[in-house]
Amino acid sequence: MIASYQKRCQQRVDAALERLLQPPRPELERLYQAMRYSVMNGGKRVRPLLVYAACEALGGQDARADGAACAVELIHAYSLVHDDLPAMDDDDLRRGQPTTHRAFDEACAILAGDGLQSLAFEVLADPERNPHDAETRLAMLSSLSRAAGPSGMVGGQAIDLDSVGHRLDQQALETMHRHKTGALIEASVQLGALASGKADPASLRALQQYARAIGLAFQVQDDILDVESDTATLGKTQGKDEAHHKPTYPALLGLEAAKAYALELRDQALHALRPFGDSAEPLRELARYIVDRRS
């Protein structure tokens, strides 16, 4: 089921992203080429999938979630462009292709990331691209800005850089990853729920519990794959976490215990979805996919 669902949602969000990434003026062609290169390069689109799945779980329509799906993917793509820069993780490979600063140049990559970030908020604020009332659009903007900024992803990346060469305990490691990886995943689920137009406090609480569990599970599985997989399968350089002496779950817990923890988090996510019926099946499948994936 997840493969066909993923394909359908990928095609939907990719078409919307293509429309967004057309240069408005000829002199901006190279900048937009770098932006398109950074986004339209074969990503799994996990975050847009979560937007659509959360919207559907509450009985919403996909068309009303397109703006939110685009916004979270634009933020995700910008974060990867900047993470790969020499001053950050200094990587040459992303999704099996040269990273943006290698395909273009460092200055263009920085500007492309900046452009993708601001475009995400432009999309959410635009009633044509995000057809909701002003209150809902404001709630979406607030959610995504918190998740992307110093209270979320950017703060987590700062903690990550400061932690290189240090041994963190499990609580500190989880704090870092709930910011760096989990915050945007949580926002994806919340934006999908808001897009449905049918979110109530009880549903939002249950979906937040689900999202917190899969957000952490995603990072645990990433750490496992950095140990077990290979560069060709991952599409990025394998083993960089260990080479850079970064704190990871396999390093802290051991590989088998890290795998067990990922499964425990998956089960927590599935438990949180008990109040929902068949409409939440895509969310359940995504929880399973996150800990079963090999790249």
Q: Which of these ranges, 105-114, 149-158, 240-249, has the smallest mean pLDDT?
A: 240-249
Structure confidence at residue 43 as a pLDDT band (50, 70, 90): confident
- pTM recorded for the entire structure: 0.94
> Does residue 282 lie in a domain region?
yes
> Does residue 131 lie in a domain region?
yes
Non-local (6+) Cβ contacts of 172 within 8 A are 163
Please report the pLDDT score of residue 95 as a whole number: 87
> Does residue 150 lie in a domain region?
yes
> Does residue 95 lie in a domain region?
yes
Q: Does position 220 have pLDDT exceeding 90, yes or no?
A: yes
User: Residue written as tokens 């099946």?
Assistant: 281
> Does residue 109 lie in a domain region?
yes
Please report the pLDDT score of residue 234 as a whole number: 58
Please report the pLDDT score of residue 231 as a whole number: 62
> Does residue 250 lie in a domain region?
yes
What domain range is 67 assigned to? 2-290
Q: Does position 11 have pLDDT exceeding 80, yes or no?
A: yes
Which neighbouring-strand residues pair with 94? 97
pLDDT digits (tens, 9 = 90+) for 230-265: 765 555 565 566 656 678 999 999 999 999 999 999
**Nearest alpha carbon to residue 56 among 286, 262, 224:** 286
Q: Does position 138 have pLDDT exceeding 80, yes or no?
A: yes
Please report the pLDDT score of residue 285 as a whole number: 97
Amino acid at 56: E
> Does residue 73 lie in a domain region?
yes
Give yes or no for a contact between 174 and 216, defined as CB atoms under 8 angstroms apart. Answer: yes
Average pLDDT over residues 132-156: 98
pLDDT digits (tens, 9 = 90+) for 61-72: 999 999 999 999
pLDDT digits (tens, 9 = 90+) for 90-104: 999 998 899 999 999
Average pLDDT over residues 215-220: 96
Q: Does position 49 have pLDDT exceeding 60, yes or no?
A: yes
Residue 227 belongs to domain with CATH number: 1.10.600.10
Q: Does position 52 have pLDDT exceeding 90, yes or no?
A: yes
Structure tokens at 52: 């659509």
Reduced to 3 states, what is the DSSP secondary structure of residue 168? coil
Q: Based on the structure, what is the number of domains in the chain?
A: 1
> Does residue 295 lie in a domain region?
no
**Other CB atoms within 10 Å distance of the CB of residue 170:** 12
Average pLDDT over residues 41-58: 95
Non-local (6+) Cβ contacts of 24 within 8 A are none
Structure confidence at residue 47 as a pLDDT band (50, 70, 90): very high
Please report the pLDDT score of residue 96 as a whole number: 86
Which neighbouring-strand residues pair with 97? 94
- Mean residue pLDDT of the chain comes to 94
